[in-house]
Amino acid sequence: MRIGVFGRGHVGAALGHALASAGHEVRYGVRDPAEAEDEEPGLVALPEAGRWGEVLLLGVPYGAVQEVLHAAGDLDRKIIVDPTNAPKPPTDERSSSQIIAGFVPTAKVVRAFNTVPAEVMLNPRFGEARASTFVCADDALARTTVLGLARDIGFDAVDAGPLKSACSIDRLLAVWRVLAFEGGLGRNLAFQLLRR
Ligand SMILES: NC(=O)c1ccc[n+]([C@@H]2O[C@H](COP(=O)([O-])OP(=O)(O)OC[C@H]3O[C@@H](n4cnc5c(N)ncnc54)[C@H](OP(=O)(O)O)[C@@H]3O)[C@@H](O)[C@H]2O)c1
């Protein structure tokens, strides 16, 4: 698939690299591609990434999302993957992804990848085990598409239902942070769902 990644920081670069390695076409939408120091191929302006991508991925801080989506232009019917984390979750009733969906009402916002660090996005394999990522979206086809992309890059992709489910899924972040930082386990840490 053609994946337009907004931003080329930790998350954008990790997911972009993983998706390109899995055989997808990736272009990065950045603020000023002409001024990009490394002159990497695949860097384009935000509207070009928005037009070109079948799936768009938010690799920018939560606080910049509205501005970036506005700059990207017409995103009607695009699938937009949201791995961003708000500094403070908005409420227990409404996830930050639902707020983002409100910025682009005719696009299909999918919550995924936000409970794993960039290190795990780049490589979700832990020996024989695979990190789980929980995928939420109101549009079933968009959710299926992103579940497929997550599996392509090695995740155990779990269908977590509608976008509202992100309110509950996001609680995993607090647990991850406690274990990684207070528990001293470090950032190369992820959850795996067991089923039977
Ligand atoms: N890092 C992680 O392990 C991790 C894991 C899960 C979720 N997340 C979430 O993912 C999001 C991104 O995190 P990150 O660690 O990738 O951040 P980052 O490394 O700081 O990268 C942010 C990217 O966004 C771009 N950007 C910032 N403001 C922008 C704007 N107004 N317009 C266009 N581009 C803009 C930056 O471009 P410039 O270089 O031009 O400033 C940079 O490419 C955050 O919400 C974070 O909470 C992060």
What confidence tens digit (pLDDT) does each residue in 6-52 have? 999 999 999 999 999 999 999 999 998 887 656 667 899 999 999 99
Higher pLDDT, 92 or 65: 65
* pLDDT score at 64: 98
Among positive and negative, which fits the CA dihedral 107, 43, 156, 189? negative
Task: Using the predicted structure, report yes or no on whether residue 154 has a pLDDT greater than 80.
Answer: yes
Could you give all domains of the chain from N- to C-terminal order, each with its CATH number?
Answer: 2-182 (3.40.50.720)
pTM above 0.95, yes or no: yes
pLDDT for position 93: 86
pLDDT for 39: 61
CA distance linking residue 28 with residue 13, whole number of Å: 9
pLDDT of 180 strictly over 80: yes
Q: Whose CA is nearest to atom 37 of ligand 1?
A: 7
Q: How confident is the model at residue 169 (pLDDT cuts 50, 70, 90)?
A: very high
* Contact of 24 with 3, CB cutoff 8 Å: yes
Question: How much is the average pLDDT of 79-83?
Answer: 98
Q: Residue 35's pLDDT is what? A: 76
- List the residue whose alpha carbon is closest to atom 5 of ligand 1: 117
Is the CB of residue 117 below 6 angstroms from any atom belonging to ligand 1? yes
Cα(64) to centroid of ligand 1, in Å?
9
Query: From the CA of 157, how far away is ligand 1's center (Å)?
Result: 23
For the residues 127-156, what does the mean pLDDT come to?
98
Q: Residue 136 has what DSSP assignment? A: E
Q: How far apart, in whole angstroms, are the C-alpha atoms of residue 107 and residue 44? A: 21
Overall average pLDDT of the 174-193 stretch = 97
Look at ligand 1, atom 9, and give the residue with the nearest C-alpha: 84
Does ligand 1 come within 6 angstroms of the Cβ of 8? Answer: yes
Among residues of the chain, what percentage have pLDDT more than 90? 91
Spell out where the chain has E strands.
2-6, 25-30, 43-45, 55-58, 79-82, 108-111, 125-126, 129-130, 132-137, 156-159
pLDDT band at residue 59, thresholds of 50, 70 and 90? very high
